[in-house]
Structure 1
Amino acid sequence: MTDMLHSYSTQYGEAWCGDSLKLLERLEDNSINLVITSPPFALQRKKEYGNKEQHEYLDWITDFAALVHRKLRDDGSFVLDIGGAYQKGTPTRSLYNFRLPIRFCDELGFFLAEDFYWYNPSKLPSPIEWVNKRKIRAKDAVNNVWWFSKTEWPKADISKVLAPYSDRMKKLLEDPDSFYKPKVRPSGHDIGKSFGKDNGGAIPSNLLQIPNTESNGAYVKGCKAVGVKAHPARFPSKLPEFFIKYLTEPNDLVVDIFAGSNTTGQVAETLGRRWMSFDLDLQYVAASSFRFIDELDENDIQSTFDKILSGAHVAFEKRQVSLPFAAAAE
């Protein structure tokens, strides 16, 4: 078996199994519009998908980030979902996730375009020792989502990800004169008549409230059909969807370097973006193909899974876009 396997392809993208550093190296410089990923976190408890110790984590993830910087287009972005952690044996927080953006910006030349926070209201209480047993800490339910850019002016359009108006705002739009008078507020904000204009939605905040509760989608059903465990650390589709809509346009290239169950690829496909996903675990890559199988019976699912596990390539649809991968990678 080679160290790089072209596992499956769709109309817009490709899934590869292999070392992401080697796979990234094969991509053309200045070719990627967005890298969005959720790497294994530097947790104290070892996970089955693999995670580094806190003392070595920063060096490890910085190697990937340096290569991402080279491969991004000048107006491209690097979005990193990263969870916090506690120090070993004590109810005090590690600072590794805060040292990460400082290092990326100081040493690699990234800019921190904005810091986002993903609040998962459905997250179970953790860590058990400090929250459930001793009851001395609150539930850890927020991840940092760092948005890095190669320049101070990355491509972005917030109008593509507007939030629904609140009921109160809808009433205001129906009859602005009944709700407010244009004037300068005590805070210094000048609220003019344009405040009552319907812009199609509200500007979202950098706190993204997205529950992670998928339990019956095609991916989970496929895993059950072939008797394998679903990836234990999947992020919800609305997280990559927000950033893909916000930071890219149709036919732009989106890459996930720690793809896991390939939520990113599925969302990019739906939104008409070219995509590439990389993961080191062949079983995870094979199972992620279930996201692209429509209404097939269990025999078809099993045969697709077995074929990818054997090292063969599966084409779900004829690819109709070009991807910047060197031919030698095949």
Structure 2
Amino acid sequence: MLPTLNKNPLYTTEYGSAYVVDSLEALAQLPDNSVNLVMTSPPFALQRQKEYGNKDEYDYVDWLAEFAKLVYQKLTPDGSFVVDLGGAYRKGHPVRSLYNYRVLIKFCDEIGFHLAEEFFWFNPSKLPSPIEWVNKRKIRAKDSVNTVWWLSKTEWPKADVSKVLTEYSDRMKKLLKDPEAYYSPAKRPSGHDISNTFGKDNGGAIPSNLLQISNSEASSKYLKLCKEVGVSAHPARFPAKLPEFFIRFLTEPNDLVVDIFGGSNTTGYVCELEKRRWMAFEERKDYLSASVFRFMQEKPIEEIKEAFNELMAEDENTTKHIPTIQPTLI
């Protein structure tokens, strides 16, 4: 069972619920020590106001800390808070803002979080920016990495890296096939014999904290359906592979995952595929209504349009249920 709020969700699925709500209001209603993972990508502290809303960098840290204080209360003792934060330049100057690092320091020093590990999301398809410093003046390199803070309530959060192993390299595959032909290690100076640790197939390689995930969604079904229905897609989506990594790494089936800045509900969609209970909170009804496209990808376009229109027309006393989806990422 999912926790309940004092208002109806916009829509539900087999495993989750999506709410048009202020996240501070919604978080306050959740039971303490009930959430296994909060996985989110807040609006970044950008210099220009964006359609989806963002704060000035100097106000940003305190603003986000209000959410983090509630997240800390609601997490289970072994729960985690994963925050994707893009970098930014200081207004009018070719030097970086430190806001994403100030977020980290404040959350740990003042709220009580631990930095379990820092991750870096490398997006090879990211466009060169900012244009002034990279394209025009050519005095800075392209910014292609987001900081992703894995924060925990305890020094020993629940995690299992064996759930997110990566594919072996071609060289490793050859070694596994015939270890003696490709690797003959000598004893280390310490006397430690590592010869028996290689040549064993563990099902994949341990991933690094540099996550290379392209965010080129030009041909995604979500975007195609937004175009066909005639609605604006959320302008700041993260790729499904990013929450998928942390959901598999830090939770188990039936655990509760919450996204406090739901947007197009990528987190909820991945949770549905991974059989995690989920809740998504988003203030903008149009974005959350369009997120239903992720759960209806194989449905006829007329049925999808009808569902979107029903969601946009619904009042707070009605909820639409979306049937179980097929397990494919879009």
SS in 1 for 2:217: coil
Is the Cα contact below 8 Å between 1:116 and 1:146 reproduced in 2?
yes
CA contact (8 A) 1:5 1:18 kept: no
Query: Are 1:92 and 2:95 counterparts?
Result: yes
The residue number in structure 2 matching 1:293 is 296
Q: 1:290 to 1:137 in 2, by over 3 A?
A: same
Which residue in the other structure is 1:180 paired with? 183
| Residue matched to 2:323 | 317
Gaps of 5+ in 1: 319-330
Q: CA deviation at 1:192?
A: 3.1
Is contact 1:58–1:100 with CA below 8 Å preserved after alignment?
Answer: yes
Which residue does the alignment assign to 2:145? Answer: 142
Aligned partners of 1:105 and 1:121: how far apart in 2? 30
Instruction: Go from structure 1 to structure 2 and tell me whether the alpha carbon gap of 1:187 and 1:50 turns closer, same or farther (over 3 Å shift).
Output: farther
CA-CA distance at 1:218 after TM superposition: 3.2
1:300–1:168 distance in 2 versus 1, CA, 3 Å: same
Give the aligned partner of residue 114 of structure 1.
Answer: 117
Where 1:255 maps in the other structure, the secondary structure is strand
Task: Give the one of 196, 200, 203 matched to 2:203.
Answer: 200
Residue matched to 1:32: 35
* Percent of aligned pairs sharing the same letter: 64
SS of match in other structure, 2:232: coil
Q: Distance in 2 between matches of 1:57 and 1:160?
A: 34
Residues 189/34 of structure 1: CA separation in 2 closer, same or farther (3 Å cut) = farther
Instruction: Note the aligned Cα RMSD (angstroms).
Output: 1.8
Partner of 2:52: 49
Structure 2 residues not aligned, in runs of 5+: 1-5, 325-330
For 1:252, the aligned partner's letter is: D
**Residue 270 in 1 paired to residue 276 in 2?**
no
User: Which secondary structure does the structure 1 equivalent of 2:197 belong to?
Assistant: helix
The one-letter amino acid paired with 1:12 is Y
Matched, 1:209 2:215: no
- Name 1:224's counterpart in structure 2: 227
Match of 1:193, SS state, is: coil
Contact 1:4 1:19 in 2 (8 A): no
Distance 1:32 1:266 in 2: 17
Q: Partner amino acid for 1:171?
A: K
**Greater mean deviation of Cα atoms: 5-14 or 306-315:** 306-315
Q: 1:236 aligns with which of 239, 256, 264?
A: 239
TM-score, scaled to structure 2: 0.92
Q: Distance in 1 between matches of 2:255 and 2:128?
A: 38
Distance 1:187 1:19, change over 3 A: farther
